[in-house]
Structure formats: C-alpha cells, structure tokens
Structure 1
C-alpha cells in the first residue's frame, strides 16, 4: 500500500520512509510531554520511545521536545504539526480498518475525557458496562475537570470530550445538551435540626458545606442574594464524594444534585429533602471541537454518552 501523506507542506510518507509508527510516537510524545508516559501509552520500552524521538528529531531537523525544568515542552514546529498529525493518524486508522466507517468492535481507540467527580460517578459506570459488552478494545482515560472549559486541551486533541456546565463557549466548539438536574438538601439522618424537610428559615439556620465546582457563587447563593438573604457556609470543597462523607459524620448540611444525593443516601446515613425554594433545573452539556464533527469514533462516543443522559 502506498500513502501520499502531506502535512503542513511536508511529504511525511517520504520523510518517514513509510514508518507510520514514528507518527504514533510523535503523537504520544506531544500528548504526554514525557518519554516514559508516551512509552506506556504505546507499549514499547522507554529506550525504544527515546530512540524514536531521536530519529524524529533527525528527520525533521528540530528538537521537537525540549526540557524546561522537570517538564518537556514542545517546540513551535512540534505544535504546528500536532493537530495535522493527529488528524492524519485518525484517517489512516479508519482506512486500514476497512473503509471510512468506524468499526467499534475492532477499535483499540483511547479517549480522554475531563469530568467532575460527580459526572464520573453518574456516567462512567454505565458507560464502562456498555463498552465492556460491545467494544472491549476501547479505553477511557479520565482527567478531573478544571473550573473553566479546558479549551487548549480540546484544541490540541489532548482531550476528546468534556461534559459539564459552562457559561460561555467559543463558536469553534460544539455544545450538546446532555442532561438536566435539580438540587436537593442533604444532611445526616440524625441531624438535630433536620427531622423533616426544612422551611426557608430552618434552612438558613443550618451550617452549610458548599461544593463549589470552580464557581464564585452557586445557584443557591445567587437566589438567596437576590432575596437579600445569606446562609452560613463553614466549609468549601470541589469534591462531591468527600462532601457526602463529611456531612454524614457532622452537623453540616450540603446542597447536591439529585442523582448523587440519592446515590450517597443509599450508601451513607443521609437524608435527602427538596429545597425550601424553587430554583428550577440546571443543565449539563457535552463539549467537543467543531472540526472533529466528521471524526466517526468521537461521534460514536458522544452518542453513547448522550444515551446515558437520556436514561
């Protein structure tokens, strides 16, 4: 089979002497910024990955990755090649798999998704169950979501998909409505001030834990502020799992999305109540890069995650 592969004006099929494994090594190195982790991703030894990097440097006449302190940073030339090489590899893999169609049952693809621990809890067990039954070769890597949309990581292909709540999204991203949630008040079962669903006055007398999710003000405090009211927040955390365990063993209360609230109440001595005021639902979206709308593998994953949101 003869490939004619041109990326950014470089005839890579000739340059790399048809060794497409070098493209895979360069892709892994740019994703990981680390020779050892790139070797783990590809499964060769670290010396083999180092040798491949040296060959790439010689063929492209560029250092590609340079050490800055303890980290490896890509050169401008490497950054220029990163996305075109990743797109070319996807096209080649689809062609070698037999045509343009993505073949899930034969795929060995690895997707990287950035999520909160809440989304990981409600989505990933169901997704992994489906994948293990239908596509055992597909792998998922999870990174924990930062307060804002990780736009740069999506742009470079380091991330494939990000589910979450984002106030503003650039037009070169695609946002799909995934699921809607409502909020619930959670307290330990023998909380002395919560024997039943509290009214607003009782809610305000509670000492609260707040799961901030990177926000400066959540829905509850936004509503309270509009009414000229405030609650006492004595502990703040980004972690839903830790919040549930702390509330289960203290006299703090926490407001959680309904799905994790009821999930934790099945595992821990917790009670769950509606809020004493109407906030309405909030929405979670799936965000991906618009230029990957023709990436059949990614679109297949998006459909799987969307289906979980409809359950």
Structure 2
C-alpha cells in the first residue's frame, strides 16, 4: 500500500463504521449515502487486505485487524480536529455540540439538574447524553472518544487521563423510621447486627468494607445493587440498612421515611473526580464544559443540615 496516495477520508469512514457497526447508521453519522459508505468499505478492504467488518446476523463485527486500528485512527482524527480548532472561537450560545458523560445515578442526581439549568442560560443548543458508569473507570471508551467525561470516585486513574477533583463527600447510615434494631445512634456492634444493602456503583470495593476488613470485622450484606436511587426506596420500605453518600441520603430523607445516622467509625470524606483524556486539554469546547461542571459542584456534605444540598 502506498501511504502517500492513501485517501485519508477513508479513515473517517472506518471510524464511523467501527462506532456504529452498521452501514446505514455510519452513513447517517457522516452525512453520506449508504452506497458511498459501502463503496468506501470495499476500498478499505482492498487497500488493507482485510475484511475489517463481517456481518453477523443484523450487526457487523470488526476483525482483529480492525480492532487493532480503531484506537490509533480515532486518536489521530481527534488530534487533527483539535489542531484545526486551535485559535478557533468556541461560542457556547451558538454551539450544537453533544457531550457524552458517564456517571452513577447518584452523581447524575446531584450534578445534572444544576448543570442543565446553567446550560439553558448559557448554551441552550448544547446536548448532554448520560451513560451509566460501570464499577471501574471506562478507560477504553474514553480513549476511543466514545465518552467525553466521567464523573465518579476512582482509586486509580492512569497517567494518560486528566483528573480534576470535583466534590468532597461523606457517608451516612440510612434506615427506615422505627427500625426495630436502631433506636439511637448505633455503635459498631449494632451496626454489624444489621442486614445491609450495598450499592456498588462506580467502585469495586467500598470504603466501609475495606475498613471493616482491616479491623477484622464483616457486615451482613444481603442485597447488592448498582443503583443508589433504588437503594433509598428499598431501605425506606424494609429492614435493610444502607450506607449512602450524605448528599443523597439527605435528599431522600426529606422525601421518604428514613432516618440518618453517623457511622460508628471514622472514615473521613472522599473525593469525586472529573476524568477526561489528557490529550484533549486543548479542546476548547470540552474544557468549557468541564468548567461548567466544576461550577455546579455541591458543597461539602457535612454542611449544616438546613442548607439545601442541591442548590
């Protein structure tokens, strides 16, 4: 293959096909006709001597060679776009960009209402697409450009990503009102007698269980869920207990028959971070969005209870 005569437009087509795994959707993404995309795929197959995408049922599956090319092609296209945009004026008021953000349902609740109010004033054409955050940092999806930002708690973030502290949070024990085993502030023994619901969203091991293990204790976890919001409702209508972020716990204690208690051991606060690809630090639009997210960070959860946590 002669790289000096290679049509670089074909790389945009391959990138779209690998994103969509469908010729029609790739054509729509590129604003091209379906025959034009099919023709480009044929040329790519000939030039690279590989089928690249194979039809399996109603979808197209990439070959190992296509998967090998996916990340470098996408990163190169992003770098070209960034280089062309250097010095360009990003106007939030006129922008029609869509940003893809992965968060837990808890972070979505404490961040997105305030963010969307801010965008409605400053950037009414900007769209936000939220995806559920898996228990670990979705590094590969950030690398591929499938996500623009991730908000959550992460113990480790690879050096190729930019990490910005967003908010500080603490934990509270939540049980239903008139819980038969919780009359006053529970001590450690009372805490361990409870049956617990554990929310594993955004983390592989919770702070509570790490502390208990280090002290030689273990709590009774009888229900596990990735959903913080459902957890509050389940606890309010059962004898299960849950350790929840204080912002979330206070929000639902005002809506549901819940009582909140201090943990019978000191864990201290933890940080929530904004994570993006470091290579995009010169992406004016993305950095503007990060600034908007940072501006709506909730106050420390240990603020007085009469202060609204989602203001």
Do Structure 1 and Structure 2 share a fold, with TM-score over 0.5?
A: yes
Q: Please give the secondary structure, in 1, of the residue aligned with 2:267.
A: coil
Structure 2 partner of 1:84: 76
Name 1:50's counterpart in structure 2.
Answer: 34
Instruction: Quote the Cα distance in structure 1 between the aligned partners of 2:60 and 2:293.
Output: 33
Check whether the contact 1:26–1:53 (CA below 8 A) recurs between aligned residues.
no
**Contact 1:27-1:86 within 8 A present in 2 as well:** no
Question: Which runs of no fewer than 5 residues in structure 2 stay unpaired?
Answer: 300-311
CA contact (8 A) 2:15 2:73 kept: no
- Distance across 2 between alignment mates of 1:235 and 1:215: 16
Q: Distance in 1 between matches of 2:5 and 2:257?
A: 63
Q: Secondary structure at the match of 1:267?
A: coil
- Structure 1 segments, 4+ long, off by >6 Å, are 22-25
Q: Secondary structure at the match of 2:41?
A: helix
Paired residue secondary structure (2:184): coil
Written as runs of structure 1 = structure 2, the 5 A alignment for 1:127-276 is 127-213=115-201, 215-276=203-264
Q: Take 2:4 and 2:272, find their aligned partners in 1: how far apart are those partners? A: 40
CA contact (8 A) 1:221 1:230 kept: yes
Q: Output the CA distance in 2 between the equivalents of 1:33 and 1:136.
A: 31
In the superposition, the TM-score normalised over structure 1's length comes to 0.82
Corresponding pairs, count = 289
The CA RMSD over aligned residues, in Å, is 2.7
Cα separation, partners in 2 of 1:175 and 1:189, compared to 1, 3 Å: same
Question: Which residue of the partner structure matches residue 287 of structure 1?
Answer: 275
Match of 1:108 among 96, 101, 113: 96
Contact 1:38/1:49 (8 A) holds in 2: no
Secondary structure, counterpart of 2:254 in structure 1: helix
- Cα gap change, 1:221/1:178 in structure 2, threshold over 3 Å: closer, same or farther? same
